[in-house]
Amino acid sequence: MGVGLGLVLSVVFALCAAFSNALATVLQRRAALSVPQSRGFRLGLVVDLLHRPVWVAGMLAVVVGGVGQAAALATGPLSLVQPLFVLELPLALLLASLAARTRLPGALWLAVAAVVAGLGVALAAAAPSGQREHVSPDRWIPALVACAGLALLLVAVGFRRPNGKARAGCLGAATAVCYALTAGLMKSAVAVLASDGLLAFLTEWQTYAFAATGVCAVLLLEHAMQGGPLVASQPALTLGDATVSLLLGVVLYQEHVRTGWWLLPQLLGVGLIVGGVLVLARRGTDLRHEAPKAPEREAPAA
């Protein structure tokens, strides 16, 4: 497979995965709002959600998105594939508006256009290229420690905040770190699968590591969606995932992005993305009205 064709396929697979993940976010958000809110980390939340068909449908969309992501990572650089998942936010809001049978105002359409245009400009200017298929343990250990420490810090801060945008944002950012780390580990495991076969894949530590971090990411995402509005958790998730993934691609897989005067259009693209995301976060569709919210387990004091 030529390099050009591989990059095209990685983009197509990543876009399909982003759509599936956006659909999963909308479905999981709707399901999460139908169960009693938890004041802390609660493993039983997933048990409650398993009884809701809409959440199961969301998880199926997650699986489809995971397959698309694996295919994208197998054919393209981490620093190209993961930033494309920034599109999850506008896609999720568009799907949410369709589910709620409401129309997005013109300002939000402009914000969506800014995110799409900014992403195109930034990636075209950066032109991510080059990648190592195997990462040595001396590179993995610092990355794992740093990602785990950052995720735990964000979780601790998030659970100290009451339900609202701050809590959802912190938990969304923690989810982003887990998703980015999952992608980095998945890329390594998929490379082993492609080169050495299924048996080697099943004996590779990265295979079980990305499965574990993926489960953590899903569980954190459910709490992020319960902890506050989607427009707080989703921007933190999408922007954080892109940022951490770019760093992991450069540090772990020694991927290259263009520098010099190319930084100017890259900064322009990033500015459009951030500006569009902030508008979407401030004025975007709040999905709370899509499903009746279950009462708290503890009634407020009279």
Per-residue model confidence as pLDDT tens digits over 237-295: 878 888 899 899 988 998 888 888 999 999 999 999 988 887 877 765 443 344 444 44
Name which residue leads in pLDDT, 9 or 152.
152
Find tokens 């998703």 and name the residue. Answer: 179
How far is the C-alpha of 89 from the C-alpha of 279, rounded, in Å? 11
pLDDT in the model for residue 294 = 42
Find tokens 């993940």 and name the residue. Answer: 21
Q: Which residues contact 226 (CB under 8 A, 6 or more apart)?
A: 32, 33, 35, 37, 38, 45, 163
How far is the C-alpha of 239 from the C-alpha of 280, rounded, in Å? 13
Min mean pLDDT across 71-85, 141-155, 192-206, 217-231 is at 217-231
Mean pLDDT over the full length of the chain: 81
Whether 80 has a pLDDT exceeding 50, the answer reads yes
pLDDT in the model for residue 212 = 94
Whether 60 has a pLDDT exceeding 70, the answer reads yes
pLDDT, one tens digit per residue, over 202-219 is 999 999 999 999 889 988
Name which residue leads in pLDDT, 36 or 39.
36
Name which residue leads in pLDDT, 43 or 261.
261
How far is the C-alpha of 38 from the C-alpha of 295, rounded, in Å? 10
pLDDT in the model for residue 301 = 42
Q: Which residues contact 267 (CB under 8 A, 6 or more apart)?
A: none
Find tokens 């540090």 and name the residue. Answer: 251
Average pLDDT on 148-176 reads 89
Dihedral angle sign, alpha carbons of residues 119, 121, 124, 130: negative
Q: Does residue 239 contact residue 277 with C-beta atoms inside 8 Å?
A: yes
